[in-house]
C-alpha cells in the first residue's frame, strides 16, 4: 500500500465518491498515463519528444508526404517503445472500473493501445492508432503487427502488399484532421456525461483540450489527475497533482471496494 497524506486521502475519497455517484462517467487520457509504462510524452521539459525534435519537421503530414523516410527514422525508436510497453496500474485501474460499469467511455489522445492491452473495451482513439496502417496510394488497410516487428528490428519501411507504395500508420500527424467518427463520439459523450475524469493530460492540445469544458458547460463534475496544472484546475471538483499510476489504483479500490 502506498502512503498518502491526510490531504491526499481526502481528495481520493472525494474523487471516489463522485465516481460512485455518477451515472455516466467518461474518462479523457493523455500521454501522462503512459509515461510510467516507458513511453515518453511530448511536452515535458528535457524529456518530452518535442524538447529534442521540431514536430513540424518530423511528424507532420507534409513531411510524411515529401520525405516519409525522415518520419520513419524519427518514429522507429518510439515505435519500439510502444511495441514493448505494457499497461501500468493506472490503465488496469480504469479497465477494472469500466468492467464494473463505473466508466462508460475512455477517450484517449494516445496511440499506444495500452488501454486495450489492459482490458478496456469502450474506447475512442482521437489521435488515431498504431494498430493499423494504410496505403498512401490504394488506401488498403492492414494490421500493423505484420509490419512493425520488421520495421523496428531491421528498419524496413512498411509497403503495401497490393501496390508496393509506402504505408502510413493510422496515427494523426500535424496538419491532419482528427478521425471524424472518434471525434464526434467523444464530443457527444462529453456533452452527455455527468462526470469527466481527466488522467495524464496537460489539456494543451486543441481541439481535445476543449472536451472537459464541454462537459462542464453541460453540468458535469470534473476530476483531474495530472503531474502538472491545467487551465481547468480552478473549475475542477477535485485535482490530484500526482502520478496516475500511483494514485488511480487507490481511487479504483475505494470505488469498487469501499
The C-alpha atoms of residue 143 and residue 209 are separated, in whole angstroms, by: 29
- Strands 128-135 and 123-125: what pairing? unpaired
Q: What confidence tens digit (pLDDT) does each residue in 144-164 have?
A: 988 988 999 999 999 999 999
Residue 252 structural domain:
1-39+87-127+178-258
Tally helices (H) and strands (E) across the chain: 10, 9
Share of the chain above pLDDT 70, in %: 94
Q: Are residues 144 and 103 in the same domain?
A: no
Q: Are residues 163 and 253 in the same domain?
A: no
Tell me: pLDDT of 53 over 80.
Answer: no
The C-alpha atoms of residue 93 and residue 251 are separated, in whole angstroms, by: 8
Share of the chain above pLDDT 90, in %: 84
User: What three-state secondary structure class fits 208?
Assistant: helix
Residue of 127, 162, 184, 221 marked active site: 127
- On average, the pLDDT of the chain sits at 92
Q: Are residues 157 and 189 in the same domain?
A: no
- Greater confidence (44 vs 133) lies with 133
pTM of the predicted protein model? 0.91
Quick one: pLDDT at residue 2?
Answer: 80
Q: What confidence tens digit (pLDDT) does each residue in 220-249 have?
A: 999 999 999 999 999 999 999 999 999 999
Beta strands in the chain, from DSSP E residues, in sequence order: 25-29, 105-108, 123-125, 128-135, 141-143, 167-171, 195-199, 221-225, 238-240
Q: What is the CATH number of the domain that holds 48?
A: 3.30.1600.10
Q: What's the average model confidence in pLDDT over 25-46?
A: 84
Tell me: pLDDT of 50 over 50.
Answer: no
- Residues 103 and 119 sit within 8 Å (Cβ to Cβ): no
> At which of 139, 156, 171 does a domain end?
171
Question: Is 122 a catalytic site residue?
Answer: no
Q: What is the CATH number of the domain that holds 30?
A: 3.40.50.1220
Instruction: Quote the number of domains for the chain.
Output: 2
Q: Are residues 105 and 191 in the same domain?
A: yes
Amino acid at each position: 500500500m502506498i502512503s498518502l497524506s491526510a490531504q491526499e486521502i481526502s481528495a481520493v475519497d472525494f474523487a471516489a465518491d463522485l465516481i460512485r455517484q455518477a451515472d455516466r462517467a467518461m474518462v479523457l487520457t493523455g500521454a501522462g498515463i503512459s509515461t510510467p509504462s516507458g513511453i515518453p510524452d511530448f511536452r515535458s521539459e528535457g524529456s518530452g519528444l518535442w524538447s529534442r525534435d521540431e514536430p513540424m519537421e518530423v511528424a507532420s503530414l507534409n513531411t510524411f508526404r515529401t520525405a516519409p523516410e525522415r518520419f520513419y527514422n524519427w518514429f522507429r525508436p518510439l515505435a519500439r517503445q510502444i511495441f514493448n510497453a505494457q499497461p501500468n496500474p493506472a490503465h488496469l485501474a480504469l479497465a477494472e472500473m469500466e468492467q464494473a460499469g463505473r466508466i462508460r467511455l475512455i477517450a484517449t489522445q494516445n496511440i499506444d493501445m495500452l488501454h486495450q492491452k489492459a482490458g478496456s473495451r469502450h474506447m475512442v482513439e482521437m489521435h488515431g492508432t498504431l494498430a493499423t496502417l494504410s496505403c498512401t496510394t490504394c488506401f488498403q488497410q492492414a494490421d500493423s503487427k505484420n509490419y512493425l516487428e520488421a520495421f523496428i528490428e531491421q528498419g524496413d519501411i512498411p509497403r503495401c502488399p497490393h501496390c508496393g507504395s509506402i504505408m502510413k500508420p493510422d496515427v494523426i500527424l500535424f496538419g491532419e484532421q482528427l478521425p471524424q467518427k472518434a471525434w464526434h463520439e467523444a464530443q457527444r459523450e462529453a456533452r452527455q456525461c455527468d462526470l469527466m475524469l481527466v488522467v495524464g493530460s496537460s489539456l494543451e492540445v486543441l481541439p481535445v483540450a476543449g472536451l472537459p469544458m464541454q462537459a462542464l458547460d453541460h453540468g458535469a463534475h470534473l476530476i483531474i489527475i495530472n503531474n502538472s496544472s491545467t487551465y481547468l484546475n480552478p473549475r475542477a471538483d477535485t485535482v490530484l497533482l500526482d502520478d496516475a499510476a500511483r494514485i488511480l489504483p487507490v481511487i479504483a479500490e475505494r470505488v469498487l471496494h469501499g
